[in-house]
Amino acid sequence: MRAKIMDRAATVILTLIAVLIIGTLVGLLGFILTQGWHKLNLDFLTSPPDIVKAGGGIGPQLFNSLYLLVLTMVIALPLGLGAGIYMAEYAPDNKFTQFIRMSIEVLSSLPSIVVGLFGLLVFVNMTGWGYTLFSGALALTVFNLPLLVRVTEDAIRNVPRSQKEASLALGITKWRTIVSVILPAALPGILTGTILASGRVFGEAAALLFTAGMSSPDLDFSQFSLSGPTSPLNPFRPAETLAVHIWKVNSEGLAPDARDVADGAAAVLIIAVLLFNLSARWFGAWIYKKMTSGAN
């Protein structure tokens, strides 16, 4: 009888908590989307911002955010995967490994503004690059590496040991076993972690203020060189991202429609993150299916 009441109570409480969380989430999303909805048109998404007049857009910022995401992932993913594989499969169980593990923990608990200031010191000043996309990408790599390493390590450790044994017992080398048997099985986990990290990159502002900077040059979208000062693809130019733009417009915007612009940009940010999540999940499921059924 008692157990039954306890069971009831637990169910009610847990349901309440779940409803509370989902309610908050839906409310927040709904609020941001309804506030920014009227701004969502092609003109807003593609035109450059206007500092003093009304009617500015967020084109360069949106592009910067996406490009920064790609740059960061190109740097962070191989490092995170490599380190995760090392920690799961190769690292001996000793003091040094424990030290690495502790460093990762510490790194993952750093506030992003601290990472930003570290980035300013190392990737902006010491390198002499100034505010650049690349500095921003490096700072975000520092920020996301712990997450990626841990997620990869966990995903690999969660692959049943019997999979590894099956492969090794067939005379397959350890490296090939990792690449062809373990990683595909760990992919869903790794992908979820990558999505999480991507969301953090896309929404991050504090770590970018002093690394990628708070301004963008006038981008010339007819240019595709990797070095021109106004070329969008040049990683060594300053770049204000969407999240940074929201923060800046909100705190020091001079245009009369600053509030509107911030609302619209926030809605775009949320939608982009949602879209990214969904497509990455779909893509992950597709890859998994592809890898788990015939390879050729």
Which residue ranges make up the site for other proteins (CB under 8 A)? 93, 160, 162-173, 176, 180-181, 184-185, 291-296
Q: State the virtual CA torsion across 142, 120, 199, 279 in degrees, nearest 10.
A: -90
Nearest residue (CB) to other proteins, 107 versus 291: 291
Q: CA 289, CA 296: separation in Å to the nearest integer?
A: 13
Q: At closest approach, how far in Å is the CB of 93 from other proteins?
A: 8
- Rg over alpha carbons for the chain, rounded to the nearest Å, is 23
Neighbours of 234 (CB within 10 A): 21
Nearest residue (CB) to other proteins, 187 versus 266: 187
Neighbours of 102 (CB within 10 A): 10
Neighbours of 174 (CB within 10 A): 13
Give per-residue burial for 12-21: e unless 16+ CB within 10 Å, then b.
Answer: eeeeeeeeee
Q: At closest approach, how far in Å is the CB of 231 from other proteins?
A: 44
Q: Residue 35: name the closest of 256, 248, 262 by CA.
A: 262
CB-based contacts of 82-85 (< 8 A; 24+ apart in sequence) = 83/145, 83/148, 83/149, 83/152, 84/148, 84/149, 84/150, 84/151, 84/152, 84/153, 84/155, 84/156, 84/190, 85/152, 85/156, 85/178, 85/183
Q: At closest approach, how far in Å is the CB of 188 from other proteins?
A: 11
Task: Kindly report the backbone phi and psi dihedral angles of residue 171, in degrees, each rounded to the nearest multiple of 5, phi listed first.
Answer: 80, 20
DSSP three-state, residue 216: coil
Nearest residue (CB) to other proteins, 183 versus 261: 183
At 101, list the tokens.
């593990």
Q: CA 164, CA 178: separation in Å to the nearest integer?
A: 8
At 14, list the tokens.
């847990």
At 275, list the tokens.
């879209």
Nearest residue (CB) to other proteins, 109 versus 296: 296
Q: At closest approach, how far in Å is the CB of 207 from other proteins?
A: 37
Q: At closest approach, how far in Å is the CB of 101 from other proteins?
A: 18
Q: Are 133 and 235 in contact (CB under 8 A)?
A: yes
